[in-house]
Each structure stands twice: as structure tokens, then as C-alpha cells.
Amino acid sequence: MAKIDHIELGEFPLLLAPMEDVSDPPFRALCKEQGADVVYTEFISSEGLIRDAAKSIQKLDIYEKERPVGIQIFGANLDSMLRTVEIVEKSKPDIIDINFGCPVKKVVSKGAGAGILKDIDSMESLTREMVKRTHLPITVKTRLGWDADSIRIVEVAERLQDAGAKAISIHGRTRAQMYKGVADWTQIAAVKNNPRMHIPIFGNGDVDTPEKAALMRDKFGLDGAMIGRASIGNPWFFKQVKHFFKTGKHLPEITITERVKTARRHLQMEIDWKKNEIVGIMEMRRHYSNYFRGIPHFKPYRLKLVTTDNLDTLNQHFEEILEVFGP
């Protein structure tokens, strides 16, 4: 039974990874319905929250049906991160997660995200001070190290645990790898197998089939899997994995009818959340390729979906997709 502090998550929980421009409230709600055990917000800039930047503030939106939900924040300045804790607490999340893993240059160049992997002492002290500042459990998401020559993840995880972190999610790549190559789960397993560790260790990276989730559980012995890219346009992934765990078999392919129904619902949820039809339509465009991935000859219809800015016309396109590709 995996637990983050007092929050019971069941056997081998599946966590929705924090993903910029993806894991907003509508998408998190869909994943939760399909079996995600914990969901995380998009990562939020501590400096943006302190400046009261509208985009950062809106990312704090969470809803009861999402729980347990974690708000993820990033930053390198201790004072800013501590002030951010107080802002985040007002949204009443279940968990506060620190991003020590984002590899994007504009984040890393400020010493935040994976940038802090060059300064393990700061990583530890920032975690310790944030734990002191809040009653909420603090978790951490990080990578194996800065590059292949500086992997110290077993030591780093110990120090984060000693600093008070209640769980650690580890992406099995270094910052230098970005998202290339293959995630190295053996390094994550080494953390889990360290007899000093007693908090949950969640694996992240390349879990894109139910079989891989089972491998992470059964061969590598981790406490759960954090799912990122495999869930984009496929909120059913969580249900697919759990069905496989239970039966050893795959669920049937998601039908066109179900894909269209969910994409339309997702679109309406985006519009409702943004309280603006045009903005909701624009936000949804990045998802269409994924919802209809693998369908032969779909490109002209995808083009229609991503160039239309009228809801009625979009609904007409969805009806046309059902007629052409449906049962």
C-alpha cells in the first residue's frame, strides 16, 4: 500500500504527471475518471505567483473531484519558494510538489527545475525549508542527474527524504538527455532498493504500455508509475493499465465514437474553464492529433479541427468524422 504521508493511494498507484499546457483541470478530470490515482497541476512559476501573473494564478484552480491533487511549483530562490507555499496553501491542495526535473533551457538557466541538479546542497536545503513552512506533504519530482557523469540519485533521494520529502518521482533520464534515448529504470530501482529509504519511489519515463507499467511494478519493484506523454489524447491509459493488472488482457481499442465523444466533452470543459469560447477552442488544438492518433487518412480532418475557431463548425466537423470513420 503506497502512501504519501497520510494519503492512502492503494497498490501501485498511477499518477498523472505535471505537464505544461496539458494537465489543466479539464484534462485532469478526464484522467481521474479513467483511473488516475493522483493528479498534478501544470508546473507553476514561483516568481509568476508572487508577481500575481494571471496565467500562474489560473493554474492554481483545483476541484474536489480531482482529489488527491498536487500543485507543482518551480523556482530557485528560497524566499520566493517559501512565499509561494503560502499562496498555494490557499487553494487547499492535498500535496505540494517541487519540480527539480524540468529540462527546458529557460527554466534551467535560472537554476530551477533540472538546473538545481548541479547544486545538491541547495536542492536539499530548499526542500527542508519548504517542509518546515507547511503542514501539507511535500513531494519532489526530479531526474537521475545533470548528465551521465554526475548521477548521484541514490544519495540525492536519501537527502531529500531526510529533508522531509514524503515521496519522490524520478524520471529515468538525465537533464542532458532531455527526452531522448531510453529511460533507465535500473537507477530508479537502486533508489527503491536502498535500505535507508522508506518513502514511496515512483518511476517516470517511457511507461507507454500496460506491459511496461507491469514491468515497473514487478521487475523493478517501484511503488507506482507516473504517466506523462502516454496519457496525452489518451486519458483511458489509466483504465487500460488497471485492466491489464487485473486480467492480464488488453481492453479493446478505443472506438471512434468514444474518441469523438471525449474530445467534444474535453473541448466544452476547456471552454467552461476558460470562460471564453475562443480561448477554450485554442487550448484544445494541441490535443486533437493525440485523440485521433493512428487513424489512417485523418490528416485533412485534423487540419479542420485545428484551424476552426467556431464551436458550431467544430461540432459539424466532429459529426463528419463520425460519418467517415465511425462504425
| Whole-angstrom distance, CA of residue 69 vs CA of residue 24 | 12
Name beta bridge partners: 226: 15, 204
Of the candidates 269, 307, 300, 301, the residue with the CA atom closest to the CA atom of residue 285: 307
| Whole-angstrom distance, CA of residue 222 vs CA of residue 216 | 6
Residues with catalytic roles: 102
